[in-house]
Amino acid sequence: MRVVMFGYQTWGHRTLQALLASEHEVVLVVTHPKSDHAYERIWSDSVADLAAEHGVEVVIRNRPDDDELFQKLKEAEPDVIVATNWRTWIPPHIFTLPKHGTLNVHDSLLPAYAGFSPLIWALINDEKEVGVTAHMMDETLDAGDIVLQRAVPVGPRDTTADLFHKTLELFGPITVDGLAEIAKGRTDFTKQDRSKASFFHKRAEEDLRIDWTWEADELDRLIRAQCAPYPSAFAFHKGKRLEIVEAEVSQARYGGTPGRIFYREGDGVAIVAGAEARRGRNHALLVKRVRTEDGRELGATEYFTHMGGYLTSRP
């Protein structure tokens, strides 16, 4: 089949690699311009460069809504469009242009975690598996009929970076296998159960701020979710921003006020956590490594030279 691909960053790069190695002909690639936004610099393999290396025409767009692009798409005469990590709305007159429509590849197990940053949100929410869905695009974001879906387990100490690498391996194969189903003439794909749908927004600065009323296991997942190269979760100590780079749940239980810098346990420092911490039934967040405002990364026992005081959500 003749394929036009809309794609961006490493997800799009890996998908395009698979398409170029497949029996399908990639006739045009549409991708976004490079961005300096913190999240856009992560996993930033260039779709444009890969396409150019293989002699495929590239069109750069933030939004695919202009007449010039539409004309190029018509001239390309695609049988199908493939969209992978395309960041803006694709209008109906484009996604319905090919005779087989548009196959969108999304990094969650739809209908759950439609929208943005699904791996981070899934890890924070203690999901036991994550995955990738290839579905037919329709007018509702990430809501079209499911062609194929593949899952991987979330390990007990996985970070978002771990989950990224696990799911990235699925993108190329699920795209090529999804196109094979479409090429067979199949249209009886699985309808999404909209009663089970969930939609999540982009991660922002406020989403990184630690709330010490969360339970220790929830904070542990937040810190693993915001692992490098993503921006780290943070709190404030003595009015200065302090990023929490590594932590786990304490073995002992600690009572008191959430945020209290309590006690050294092993190679970490226990910070009281949980809305009911005053009852003394809670595990603490055992902070092991931190990063200061001036970029120094230190062990927690080195940074917290004296016990006592508080980590706060606001300066």
The predicted structure's pLDDT at residue 37: 66
CATH class of the domain at 205-312? alpha beta
Question: Rounded to a whole number, what is the distance in angstroms from the first to the last CA of the chain?
Answer: 57
| Of 283, 233, 230, the residue nearest 256 (C-alpha) | 283
User: What value does the mean pLDDT of the chain take?
Assistant: 96
Q: What is the mean pLDDT of residues 14-37?
A: 94
- Per-residue model confidence as pLDDT tens digits over 98-139: 999 999 999 999 999 999 999 999 999 999 999 999 999 999
pTM above 0.85, yes or no: yes
CATH number of 2-200: 3.40.50.170
Residue spans of the domains in the chain: they are: 2-200, 205-312
Domains 2-200 and 205-312 share a fold: no
Predicted confidence band of residue 307 (pLDDT cuts 50, 70, 90): confident
DSSP 3-state of 238: coil
CA angle 92, 108, 50 (to 5 degrees): 70
The predicted structure's pLDDT at residue 40: 66
- Per-residue model confidence as pLDDT tens digits over 36-73: 766 667 778 999 999 999 999 999 999 999 999 999 99
